Amino acid sequence: MMSQNRAHPRISIIVPTFNRHDGLKRCLSSLFALSDTNIANAELIVADNSPDANASDVFETLTANAPLPCKYVSETAPGVSNVRNSALEIAEGSLVAWLDDDQTAEPGWLDELVKAHDVYGATVSFGPTLPVLPESTRKYRSYFTRFFERPQLPQDGLIDAYFGCGHSLIDLVAIRQMLPENAPLFDVEANDLGGEDDRLFQMVLDKGGTIAWNRQAVAHEHPPAHRVKLSYTLQRSFVYGQGPSCSAIRRSPPDVPKLLYWMGVGVGQSTIYGLSALTLRILGDETWANWADKAIRGVGKVLWFPPFQLRFYGAAYNQRKPNADQTSDLEEDMEAETLREIEPATSGDKASQPAN
């Protein structure tokens, strides 16, 4: 681990990375270009989950003249929870801003996230994520834009919804007070399956924490061309569709009525949207992809259990042999900010993002 010394910062900006050097360079360049006032009280942590710590040299080159203190940590144990937790172990800030290595920050990004925290007393803060698709993407461009885009909320303030960890701000002190002593923030059981951020943010809501939205806190997503394909997005939608059912069964005790409810919703979604997708496909209407996406999410609600729980991350990811153009992927949970399906909270609780 390398670091530059300075007074204790209020904010730790954490960028997890995995074999994506070009994306990391673009991400850090956007952070170093910020003129936000909160940069003066921030540190940067690059957390490398590659097995050979291959981002180390890239980190040293990129941060040689950085405008804020920078640290590097290597976590060779595969898994999105592992790398996030390792970064938090060396974080000095009471607030943590997360940005993925395929994202970039707009001017004002950090100030606006901190503003949402300070003004609304939020435990977690989010803002819009806008996709930057490859210029070569022509077919289904509207669908892919929607898939990789974080849903746009019309008003700032407290919300009963949560999104992915990439491009967010968390109150580390407040969240640690919600957890058992010395418990990691991110559940290591999610290393292979993903959804570690969903589990954390649902816990925040269950414990009475608050979530804020600020439309001015803007980041961009830069999905590579090999992910801007139906074969990728529909598979990911299946996994997102499993979210509500898996969340219900993970509760203690398992919420069986809620599970059955979501499975019923899934049957309806897969049938109605599936027929719509098929009809539009036959008619040659490109919008069939939107309906197919919804249908696949419905199937995921029904087939939420093994062997249908797909393992994209951690050790399972490393055991696969991806094509050469896929080796730059961050473990895919740190990826496109999609219209994720999060289980609405039970009666009396704060609702999370509604299902599509």
Domains in the chain (CATH in brackets) are 11-226 (3.90.550.10), 229-326 (no CATH)
Listed range (44-53, 74-83, 188-197) with the worst mean pLDDT: 188-197
Cα–Cα distance between 59 and 81 in angstroms, integer?
Answer: 21
Cα–Cα distance between 67 and 42 in angstroms, integer?
Answer: 10
Reply yes or no on whether the pLDDT at 330 is more than 90: no
Reply yes or no on whether the pLDDT at 341 is more than 90: no
Give the per-residue pLDDT at 221: 97
Give the per-residue pLDDT at 121: 97
| Rounded alpha-carbon distances, angstroms, from residue 113 to 73, 133, 214, 318 | 24, 24, 7, 34
Please state whether beta strands 95-98 and 103-105 pair in parallel, antiparallel, or not at all (unpaired).
unpaired
pTM score of the predicted model: 0.85
Give the per-residue pLDDT at 222: 97
Buried b (16+ CB within 10 A) or exposed e, 186-214: bbeebbbbbbbbbbbbbebbeeebbbbbb
Reply yes or no on whether the pLDDT at 55 is more than 60: yes
Cis before residue 253, ω within 30 degrees of 0?
yes
Give the per-residue pLDDT at 308: 86
What is the distance of C-alpha 7 from the center of its chain? 30
The mean predicted confidence, pLDDT, of the chain is 87
The mean pLDDT value for 270-286 works out to: 98
Reply yes or no on whether the pLDDT at 42 is more than 60: yes
Picking from 114, 116, 107, 98, the residue whose alpha carbon sits closest to that of residue 12 is: 98
Reply yes or no on whether the pLDDT at 49 is more than 50: yes
> For residue 326, what are the contacts with CB-CB under 8 A and spacing of at least 6?
226
Give the per-residue pLDDT at 316: 47
Give the per-residue pLDDT at 247: 86
Amino acid of residue 227: R
Query: Which residues of the chain form beta strands (DSSP E)?
Result: 11-17, 42-48, 70-74, 95-98, 103-105, 124-126, 129-131, 157-159, 168-171, 211-213, 219-221
Give the per-residue pLDDT at 8: 60
Burial of 351 (0-12, 13-18, 19+ CB in 10 A): middle
Reply yes or no on whether the pLDDT at 11 is more than 50: yes
Reply yes or no on whether the pLDDT at 4 is more than 50: no
C-alpha torsion angle, residues 102, 322, 85, 172 (rounded to 10): 30
56 Rama sector, left if φ>0, alpha if ψ -120 to 50, beta otherwise: alpha
* Site of tokens 């094509």: 323
The pLDDT confidence band at residue 177, using thresholds 50, 70 and 90, is very high
Per the model's pLDDT, the better-predicted residue between 195 and 353 turns out to be 195
Query: Hey, is 23 helix, strand or coil?
Result: helix
Listed range (20-24, 163-167, 225-229, 315-319) with the worst mean pLDDT: 315-319
The pLDDT confidence band at residue 312, using thresholds 50, 70 and 90, is low
Cα–Cα distance between 28 and 13 in angstroms, integer?
Answer: 10
